[in-house]
Amino acid sequence: MSLESNSFVRVPLADILECTISDALQRETKDTVDKQSAFIEADLKFLRNENVIQESDMNPEFQISLIAAEKTDRNTYQGY
């Protein structure tokens, strides 16, 4: 089937609506998943921080090792 430069392809309205609806649903689903992932990440960070606090309260050596690791990371980041 050849098309002339000034001819139009007729697309059924149902196909256009279906595509538009599916695109909107896909965007909405992606946005929802992104939001839920952010909530889960925030919860995991909170739990990790709480665990670090509890562990450092119970084990002073753990706290010392965290401070040393933080200094090492900071020095590595600054290029020392």
What does the pLDDT read at residue 63?
A: 77
48 alpha carbon, distance to own chain's centre: 18
- Report DSSP state, residue 3: -
What does the pLDDT read at residue 65?
A: 83
pLDDT tens for each residue of the chain, 80 residues long: 455 555 666 767 666 666 788 888 888 999 999 999 999 999 999 998 888 778 777 887 877 887 888 888 776 655 55
| Helix pair angle (60-78, 13-58), 10° resolution | 120
